Amino acid sequence: MRTLKYKYYISATLVSLMLSGTSCIGDLDTVPLSPTEQTSDNVFGNEEITYVESLAKIYAGMAIGGNKGGDSDQDVAGIDGGSQASFLRVLWNMQELPTDMAHCAWSDPGIPGFNQVSWGADSPWIKGSYYRLFYQINLSNAFLRETTDEKLAERRCDAALVDKMKEYRAEARFLRALNYWYLLDLYRNVPLVTEDSAIGEKVLPSQVTPQELYDFIETELTECVDDMLDPVVGYSQQYGHANKAAAWSLLSRLYLNAKVYIGQEKYTECIDACKKVIASGYTLDPEYKAIFCADNDHSVEMIFPVRYEGDQTMTWGGMTAFINWGAADLKDEVNGKDAWQGVRAKSSLLRLFEKENASEKDMRKSMLHTELTTNIEIVNQTEFLNNGIPVAKYYNKYKDGTLPPSKEAYTDFPLFRLGEIYLNYAEAVLRGGTGGSRTTALGYINDLRKRAYDQDAAATISDSDLTLDLLLDERGREFFFEAQRRTDLIRFDVFTGDSYLWPWKGGAAEGISVGDYLKIYPLPSDEIGSNTNLVQNPGYQK
């Protein structure tokens, strides 16, 4: 099995041909006028490497903004590739900054709106996220169009490649479903475009209902999973590829949030998906910090990462940002290239830990460096020093303390890990799902807590302590700065309104109520202006 690395030097011709149907610049089936004219048939050919490279391009878009990394040669034109067009960085901002987790001191357009849970359809970050997600979907659609049995037969591909293509196509379908899940979660009412959709200069995709998009995601995942790789725990030649456990993990998220998306409870289905992941053999890493170090590709907890390979995946987004934006005093601790000093934790995150009687023993809390600030509160929203709490969660160091070959990020981002599956299972049980048990759920939560407390008995809770409120707090402690918090707060119905307030919610230092329409983001104003089939989400101006 070829190890999938993101940094493929894919020719501009290949990328153009992959997207030509989507971007209305040509017909993939056009017969060349001469033997030297490039078309999909003579670029893809019958060699596996070209198909591997085009699949790798889909994965790569989750880590870097373009083939060359950095801020040049970006996939999404007109948007900064190191920030607003970065899959991970913009997702992180949209999931963490509007919550009780984090605050950014920079005043770039759109950032104050995230901090204060107040944004509009003209936000460049909202635009960047939307177009990055659809760019990734378009890549998957193009790959699926070019790998049908008919296409492979026309190119005289051998039987081994045809058989391998079932696995590659399943991965492409999973990646497309993943991006559609983010669109469902963030924007809710979006177009649905597949490899079978009509294409052309005058074709405008139609908006679908959340139910239709939910059904598509569920169907794709349940259909493609059988052709995906079997899970292998820890590092292997298949590391970085999505496997069956990744599909079940995404299904667990989809089902856990189904009541938010479509008004239907799918907790029993969530439990079933979680049980399949847990049965795959993943275990908790003995040390919490090891999940976020440069050799976390060997983690026994990692289900599906976004991979980083140092110089080969250089970008100012993603893990580069997450490692570098702590305090100057943390630069050497995390082995970062720089100290951007832009992002800090809110006092509300610290208070989640302080709810615990023995919180000083929680190793997760040690990543919050209160000793490096004189004010845990954010008094001045645009000043980093001594405003809020510096955080070091991601480390560009190996877990034994040694260093990777360079200061470029080698740390993978844990998009799915076993800790989430444990918490999903427990929550689905508490919300009434069948097929699981409170006893098992309690065991999973105590396993997570004992890991955080280095097996100290102070970590364990009793059955009477196991409540939904505790699970929301535990998710905050376990997954802070992992781009999940907004989704969790919405599912627990505390993201809007005034039942739970945190600093700068609604633009007030002490936090105030915000409207329910903010539970979903607006469609970008550019998209509304260019596609007359779209209706803006309620509460927003076009």
6-36 pLDDT tens trace:
443 344 444 554 555 433 222 222 223 333 4
Identify the DSSP state of 459. Answer: G
228-240 pLDDT tens trace:
999 999 999 899 9
161-180 pLDDT tens trace:
999 999 999 999 999 999 99
> What integer pLDDT is reported at residue 32 of this predicted model?
30
Residue 81 has pLDDT above 50, yes or no: yes
Q: 2 CB contacts (<8 Å, ≥6 apart)?
A: 48, 52, 237
* Strand-strand pairing, 413-417 and 302-306: antiparallel
Residue 278 has pLDDT above 50, yes or no: yes
Matching residue, tokens 């059904």: 215
> What integer pLDDT is reported at residue 40 of this predicted model?
62
How far from 122 is each of 15, 97, 134, CA to CA, in Å? 29, 18, 18
Q: How far apart are CA 200 and CA 409, in angstroms?
A: 40
How far from 78 is each of 35, 175, 201, 315, 320, CA to CA, in Å? 35, 24, 20, 17, 22
Average pLDDT, the chain: 90
Q: Which of 20-34, 133-147, 470-484 has the least mean pLDDT? A: 20-34
> What integer pLDDT is reported at residue 77 of this predicted model?
78
How far from 279 is each of 21, 132, 244, 454, CA to CA, in Å? 41, 34, 12, 25
234-277 pLDDT tens trace:
999 899 999 999 999 999 999 999 999 999 999 999 999 999 99
> What integer pLDDT is reported at residue 274 of this predicted model?
98
Q: CA 370 from chain center: how many Å?
A: 28
pLDDT band at 220 (very low <50, low <70, confident <90, very high): very high
> What integer pLDDT is reported at residue 79 of this predicted model?
76
- Residue 524 in contact with residue 533, Cβ under 8 Å? no
The helix (run of H) or strand (run of E) holding residue 488 is helix 485-491
What is the rounded end-to-end Cα distance, in angstroms, of the chain? Answer: 48
pLDDT band at 43 (very low <50, low <70, confident <90, very high): low
- Structure tokens, 524: 């970008």
Residue 219 has pLDDT above 50, yes or no: yes
> What integer pLDDT is reported at residue 70 of this predicted model?
59
Q: If you average pLDDT over residues 448-459, what whole number do you get?
A: 94
Residue 533 has pLDDT above 70, yes or no: yes
Domains of the chain (ranges; CATH) run 1-75+120-227 (1.25.40.890)
Phi, psi of 264 (to 5 degrees): -120, 140
H, E, C per residue of 94-105: HHHCCCCCEEEC
312-370 pLDDT tens trace:
888 888 999 999 998 889 999 999 998 888 999 999 999 999 999 899 999 999 999 99
- If we measure between CA atoms, which residue out of 247, 309, 236, 244 comes closest to residue 1? 236
* Strand-strand pairing, 343-345 and 102-104: antiparallel
Q: How far apart are CA 507 and CA 383, in angstroms?
A: 16
- If we measure between CA atoms, which residue out of 177, 178, 182, 214 comes closest to residue 194? 177
Residue 38 has pLDDT above 50, yes or no: no
- Structure tokens, 493: 């119905």
- Structure tokens, 157: 């591909």
Q: How far apart are CA 81 and CA 70, in angstroms?
A: 8
Q: Which of 28-42, 59-73, 375-389, 520-534 has the least mean pLDDT? A: 28-42
Here the contacts of 132-135 (C-beta below 8 Å, separation 24 or greater) are 132/61, 132/75, 132/76, 132/85, 132/86, 132/87, 132/90, 133/87, 133/179, 133/180, 133/182, 133/183, 134/179, 134/183, 134/193, 135/61, 135/75, 135/76
pLDDT band at 46 (very low <50, low <70, confident <90, very high): confident
Q: If you average pLDDT over residues 45-72, what whole number do you get?
A: 85
Residue 37 has pLDDT above 50, yes or no: no
Cβ-in-10-Å burial (0-12, 13-18, 19+) of 146 comes to buried
